[in-house]
Amino acid sequence: MSFETLIHIILEQQVSLASARAAMDRLKDRLRNKITPDRLLTLTDTELKSCYFSRQKTAYARNLATAVLDKTVQLKKYPEMSNETIRGELTAVKGIGNWTVDIFLMMALHRTDLFPLGDIALLNSVRHLRALPANSPKETIAMIAEEWKPLRTIAAYYCWHAYICRKGLRF
């Protein structure tokens, strides 16, 4: 439920996991492994750029840091909050959308019934596993994922694993 986790997920938006990991490692080095909202806000745009942050991700990270500091986002309360309450709070921060919230809920809070339809690798994996056409709409995949309730998160992990194995990816 940490700020650091959300920053990492923001870095994973629309890039490879390896690219996000490189940016996160650079940020950790820059901040001496103490990634907190106040410490992040001390970095200049140039310093964040040297950590592989794009202009947009710099803004998103700053927005999140500010929201945590002004208590608009209260990460410590998340374990007791519903998914939808957390989603509402986080998506109010510019730069955090449903995919980011889904990944956070799955990875940080270990919520078991999410299926992030904004994840291209996940969608492609389901298409492949179910032998669907490459242009099958998200709605079709959402209907398939309904079969996996209340453990859609577990199904998503299996689908990601299948995708990683099929692509021969290494981390």
pLDDT in tens, the chain (171 residues): 589 999 999 999 999 888 999 999 999 999 999 999 999 999 999 999 999 999 999 999 999 999 999 999 999 999 999 999 999 999 999 999 999 999 999 999 999 999 999 999 999 999 999 999 999 999 999 999 999 999 999 999 999 999 999 999 876
pTM (2 decimals)?
0.93
| pLDDT in the model for residue 16 | 87
Answer yes or no: are the C-beta atoms of 129 and 162 closer than 8 Å: yes
- The C-alpha angle with vertex 128 and arms to 122 and 132, in degrees rounded to 5, equals 110
Sign of CA dihedral 164, 10, 76, 26: positive
pLDDT of residue 1: 55
**∠86-71-95 over CA atoms, to 5°?**
55
CB-based contacts of 104: which residues, under 8 Å, 6+ apart?
Answer: 5, 6, 9, 86, 90
Name the residue with tokens 């374990």. Answer: 79
Q: Which domains does the chain have, with CATH numbers?
A: 3-107 (1.10.340.30), 120-167 (no CATH)
The per-residue pLDDT for 170 is 79
